[in-house]
Amino acid sequence: MKDKIEVKSIIERYEWLLFGGLLLLALGIHIFSTFGSLIWTSDSFHYWAASRSFQSERVFLAWDGGTYIFWPPLFPIILSFFNETTYHIFHIVCFLSSLLFIYLFFKKLYKKDIALISLTVFILSVYPYLMSSFLWSETIFTFLLFSGLYYYQNWLQDKAKNYSLILSSILLALMCLQRNAGVFIIVGLSVYCFIVFLKEKDWKFLIKMAIINLLIITPNIIWNNTQKIYFTEDYDFSNRLIIADFIPNLETFSVEIIRFFIPIQENAHSALLLIFGIIILTSIVAQKSKLLPLIIFTSYLILFLILPEFESSETGRFLAPITPIIILQLTLLSKEALSKFNSRKIKVMISIVLVTILLYNMARTAKNVSQWNYRSIHHPKSAKIFF
């Protein structure tokens, strides 16, 4: 008990010093990972081509000169204000800002120690650098996601702060124009609002949030509907069964989530993966967790699972923006497990397992960041262009 009090006292006293140290660590890893420049993949060339065509002619053209149809327009618009060097600086600012709002959002939900520990584990994992080392839209998406959720939670705790709701709505609308997956987040937010309504029976709240959430996703809907005319038969999924690829996608996502705990091959037995996933999900749901992050995570995951089957190499990238929420839930689960057992031996065993998982993630981060550093310096734009 005394040790817990001392830890909390240290966090209370040195909170922002500790947070600043984490930001410097994350910045250092990012700079090392992208020492030559941001790394480009096939998507990056299309983002950049669309940004240059928008800059010069106010149209969105892909790398091959065709119409830019696969993603919403915000990222190319942002890129159009920069050259490669100045964008990298802006990219770093968004990267650090996303970490700030992850921490602020978690602190709105739980105590400072939970928020700081969760952020620490996230920064030591590979996921923030998987997003930030590449010329991709996920870094800005993550910033918009967690800043929007922070201001939304700020409004929930004091509904007189209408400026927080307005700011949240703007940020979340921009998030939906950054990546289509932003709509998945708003679906989760809508489910959460409905659960709040069932508890409080506040029709005014329900109608207000229904209108706001609809307005948030409207720009994305308009964009995607205007782009439909450019889709070829290869990308027309209108006649596809909605859960056609659910199981393959679930297996792919399961592998990626389990990789946070242990190294595992892509061809691991699907039954074991599903059983492990069910155990983890049950453990998370069984906690007395705040519903908002849990529903956001669940909605995001389920809606990704019903998409057309995606490549396993893309899974980490898709999962990365909500990894902080997964880590938050695991931090809560770990704290609960340590507090439930009185036996010192069991606590030591649990602590050893947790430290081993953390060390494994640090090793994984070091390995990947080292590879990205080499690629960034020697061939940052060597990706093959497809579509």
Q: What is the pLDDT of residue 233?
A: 55
The mean pLDDT values, 10 residues at a time, for the chain of 387 residues are 59 86 98 96 93 93 83 96 96 98 96 94 97 97 98 91 94 97 96 92 94 97 81 60 77 83 71 59 61 90 85 86 93 84 85 94 97 95 68
pLDDT at 347: 87
Residue in this structure with the two tokens 């060097």, named with its chain if needed: 85
Q: What contacts 310, CB < 8 A, 6 or more positions away?
A: 249, 252, 318
- Angstrom distance (rounded) from CA 322 to CA 34: 22
CA atoms of 58 and 71, how far apart (whole Å): 16
Instruction: Tally the residues of the chain.
Output: 387
Residue 275 lies in a domain: yes
In a domain, 387, yes or no: no
On whether residue 249 sits in a domain, the answer given is yes
382 falls within a domain: no
Burial degree of 18 (CB within 10 A; 0-12, 13-18, 19+): middle
Task: Tell me the C-alpha distance between 328 and 109, whole Å.
Answer: 10
CA separation (Å) from 138 to 130, 141, 320?
A: 9, 5, 8
Instruction: Flag whether 384 is in a domain.
Output: no
Q: How many CB atoms lie within 10 A of CB 48?
A: 20
Domain that holds residue 164: 2-377
Q: Are 67 and 226 in contact (CB under 8 A)?
A: no
φ, ψ for residue 353, nearest 5 deg: -60, -45
d(CA 112, CA 110): 7
CA angle 35, 38, 43 (to 5 degrees): 160
In a domain, 197, yes or no: yes
Secondary structure element (H or E) that encloses residue 340, with its range: helix 323-340
Q: Is residue 383 part of a domain?
A: no
Note whether residue 385 is domain-resident: no
According to the model, what pLDDT value does residue 387 have? 47
Neighbour count for residue 242 (Cβ, 10 Å)? 9
Cβ distance 192 to 291 under 8 Å?
yes
**Number of separate domains in the chain:** 1
